[in-house]
Structure 1
Amino acid sequence: MGHQKIRENKTCLNCNYVVENKFCPNCGQENTETRQSFHYLFTHFVEDLTHYDGSFWKTIKGLLFKPGHLTKTYLEGKRKKFVPPVKLYIFISFVTFLLPSLLPETSLLEFKEGKTEKTVTQEKNPEKEKKKEFSGIEVRDGIKIKSLKELDSLQNVLPEDEKFSYLEYGAYEKVFKVKKEETGKELLKKAFESAVHTLPKVLFLYMPVFAFFLWLMHDKKKWYYFDSGVFTLHYFSFLLLVIAIGMIFNWLMNLLPLLGIFSTFYDIVALFYVFFYFFRAHSNFFGEDKAISRLKGFVLFFINMFLISIFSVALFAYSLWCVK
């Protein structure tokens, strides 16, 4: 970024120090014109994220293939050649959040259906695909309803102390929407897309919990909570990166029906690698005896996977509830 016009005024706009060259010797700010073209703003943004000097790609390479290396190097003070942990997480989560919009077929629901299955479904005889008759939902003893209209009518005639609560009414409303074939598919699709969009936020909110359990399992005199926090940032960045790569890979594979099977293959390999990566990163970073490291790793992994599963179920339920 050496093409900005230098200001004729030699007074630094940031600290009022006299600037003889391009950079202020007092605060380090560039003494360039404050108004720039859109091209400059865009390229500056990209450079700030990806570091054209190669640090971005070194960081991504280390994150994917050297478990625990980035965290160890960062805490040793060798930080210049790598992207800072917080900045790395924000950038990868931003990309993961944006991908479903850029690649419409990358929703989790469409991944699992695949083009092959869609093609087969389209070739079926429509006359043979008769929808099963919906018998209704029993909402009170002996009272069944089959539609939202009946639900509203019943709600209006019920005594005040027997009316459906907000949660009850909302749950029945969602069931009736799912029972409608097209609406149900759209509802589920929107819920999955909402879950994918919210996943980076959920992981971000869960990170302090993950770091706490990590800190709790190790020597408090040797390891600070900050150290566990940096490890967690790198591991969660790795998780989101695997998800982002999976979205792109599955989208490419689903373009051709015969290649759809590779999407499942990637999911299996990615799941195994995520499991393996955690144990290797944990061992490399904390440097404990292998047996102790693996034992702690198993305890930490399954505690956090259990809690993350609960978070995920809650996320999906919330996404389904909020879909209009």
Structure 2
Amino acid sequence: MSRSPVRTDKTCLNCHHVVQERFCPNCGQENIETRKTFHHLFIHFFEDLTHYENAFWKTIRNLLLRPGALTKVYLSGKRMSYLAPVRLYIFISFVTFFIVAMLPEEKRDDVVKVKNDGKGWTFDSGTEEEKRQRDSITKAVQKSIKGFGGESADRDIFGYKSLRELDSIQKFGKPDEKLTETEYGYLRKVFELMQNNTRKQLKEKFFDALWHNFPKALFIYMPIFAFILWLFQNKRRWYYFDHGIFTLHYFSFLLLIYLIAELVNCILGLTDFWLLDVLNNLIALVLFVYAFYYFFPAHHRFYEETRTMTVVKGGCIFVINMILSGILMLFLLVYTFLNLH
């Protein structure tokens, strides 16, 4: 229920019915003041999205600490005390990807990297004094790389030195020299991207686009995950809808664990103190193990099967999902690459 003050006028603004208390007995609209400050607007939006009055935190607590219980309670009909699965997933997904996108990039150590900047092979880090101290090593690296044909390899892309050469061979070359339409389109895309972007720009664009497309891929994969659950369960007892609710809760949990891990990594990564690094890695390991373990008690509690059957079915489900998610990731990488500009 909203915390906004009740209107002194007892006429409902929606249906003009007389309102004796807070809610209109005819249409159900709350008879409250419509003009609000930005603070009230923000709080109202958050409450509408989460049913903030106890339901949100109660849902999150059960989602994290009681695997499978939230799904079981929801399907038993007790739904007013918890967030609806779709709303929960949308909210957690939005918060997770928004916050992670806003977090600062990890501070990179000043490590020595060797790169080819077009003028030769050089070290890409360190102070000027360190670079001067490495001059002799740099020369040795340049000489050894040239001996292995490194410079020519850097100029070529799959054996083609330019887009003009690729087009020429594809148009006038011998049949055995020509590529398939798929291969030709892929290589042409590579050359076009390399001409219009530096490698750093291309890398940044690719990972930004990949991160942008990942929520879509996750949303697409959920029905597949639910279908795999459906294959392993009694079709008369469990409907596909039931597996869909289980999937929404499970994926919400995974996103929440990912968000927690990223926040912990950001907070503990603010300093270079070695003990905090150890603690950060330990927490990340615990969260990863818990995320893997979580599925089995959730499966056992919701489907009410023996622990042995849960482990057997859960193992099979994980193997199938690893294969299918790998295929989906491959398609996602290709799709992201083909849509780069």
TM-score (norm 2): 0.77
Counterpart of 2:249, as a letter, is: H
Residues 1:313 and 1:17: Cα distance change in structure 2 (over 3 Å) = same
Separation in 2 of the partners of 1:243 and 1:222?
A: 33
Count of aligned pairs between the two proteins: 307
Aligned residue in 1 for 2:337: 320
Separation in 2 of the partners of 1:175 and 1:284?
A: 54
Separation in 1 of the partners of 2:217 and 2:183?
A: 23
For the 8 Å contact 2:50–2:88, the answer to whether it is kept is no
Separation in 2 of the partners of 1:43 and 1:307?
A: 41
Equivalent residues in 2 for 1:92-171 (5 A)?
A: 92-105=92-105, 115-116=108-109, 118=110, 122-123=125-126, 125=131, 127=135, 128=138, 132-135=150-153, 136-137=155-156, 144-146=159-161, 150-152=162-164, 154-155=166-167, 159=171, 165=181, 168-171=184-187
* SS of 2:81 mapped into structure 1: coil
Aligned residue in 2 for 1:11: 12
For the 8 Å contact 2:230–2:240, the answer to whether it is kept is yes
Residues 1:4 and 1:309: Cα distance change in structure 2 (over 3 Å) = farther
Separation in 2 of the partners of 1:160 and 1:33?
A: 76
The offset of 1:82, in angstroms, is 1.6
Residues 1:29 and 1:171: Cα distance change in structure 2 (over 3 Å) = farther
* SS of 1:115 mapped into structure 2: coil
Please list every run of at least 4 consecutive aligned residues from structure 1 whose deviation after the TM superposition is greater than 4 angstroms: 129-132, 160-167, 175-180, 260-264
What's the CA shift string for 1:265-324, capped at 9, x where partnerless? 444333322221111110111111121121111111211122112212222332233333
Q: For 2:305, which of 288, 295, 302 is the aligned residue?
A: 288
For the 8 Å contact 1:50–1:57, the answer to whether it is kept is no
Aligned residue in 1 for 2:198: 183
* SS of 1:133 mapped into structure 2: helix
Aligned residue in 1 for 2:121: none
Separation in 2 of the partners of 1:260 and 1:317?
A: 35
Aligned residue in 1 for 2:228: 213
Residues 1:30 and 1:322: Cα distance change in structure 2 (over 3 Å) = same
For the 8 Å contact 1:49–1:56, the answer to whether it is kept is no
Separation in 1 of the partners of 2:164 and 2:35?
A: 59
Q: For 1:222, which of 237, 252, 261 is the aligned residue?
A: 237
Aligned residue in 2 for 1:65: 65
Q: Could you tell me which runs of 5 or more consecutive residues in structure 1 were left unpaired when the two chains were aligned.
A: none
Q: For 1:305, which of 322, 327, 339 is the aligned residue?
A: 322
Separation in 2 of the partners of 1:49 and 1:191?
A: 32
Aligned residue in 2 for 1:255: 270
The offset of 1:42, in angstroms, is 0.9
Counterpart of 1:232, as a letter, is: T
The offset of 1:119, in angstroms, is 5.2
TM-score (norm 1): 0.81
The structure with the larger Rg is: 2
Separation in 1 of the partners of 2:163 and 2:169?
A: 10
Aligned residue in 2 for 1:45: 45
Question: Which has the larger displacement, 67-76 or 167-176?
Answer: 167-176
Residues 1:309 and 1:228: Cα distance change in structure 2 (over 3 Å) = same
Q: Identity of paired residues, percent?
A: 41
Aligned residue in 2 for 1:29: 29
* SS of 1:18 mapped into structure 2: coil
